[in-house]
Amino acid sequence: MTTFKLAPGGKTLESHTDAKSEEGSYHESAVIGFDETTKMLSFVERRRDLQVASKGDWTSPVSIRFTVDPIKVKGQTLHLRRTIAVISAYSFTVTEELSEDGGPFVRLGQAIFSKANLATPTK
């Protein structure tokens, strides 16, 4: 589950993801900004000891294409491509591809996200 809240100052969103799988718990956080004038979206994500910074071009109403800063891990340089496709006001997909040390890009996967109503039913 990912939750979003407006950061102090009101110019960015803070995101927190908590998940569980057969391999254990997973946690990540991000700070998300948007420049209305240029239609650029910025993400700074943190996963364990790794930080990923990216900028997304949201000049199209149907998708956001991201440029991701190269990531160095254990002597390798990783390049990530990410595209968010808007399905509706409450749903989007994320497609990610990875290149290791300048090799061909390989699709990591595609995820579908949608807004969940977490309201507690009344009795």
Q: Residue 49: what pLDDT? A: 83
Over residues 12-36, the pLDDT tens digits come to 999 999 989 888 898 999 999 999 9
Q: How many domains would you assign to the chain?
A: 1
Q: Residue 121: what pLDDT? A: 55
Domain annotation covers residue 52: yes
CATH, residue 29: 2.40.128
Domain annotation covers residue 122: no
User: CA gyration radius for the chain?
Assistant: 16
Domain annotation covers residue 120: no
Domain annotation covers residue 119: no
Domain annotation covers residue 110: yes
Domain annotation covers residue 57: yes
Over residues 55-82, the pLDDT tens digits come to 999 999 899 999 999 999 889 999 999 9
Pick the range with the lowest mean pLDDT from 7-11, 55-59, 97-101, 115-119: 115-119
| The model's pTM | 0.73
Give the residue numbers spanning the domain of 23.
2-114
Structure tokens at 112: 């579908």
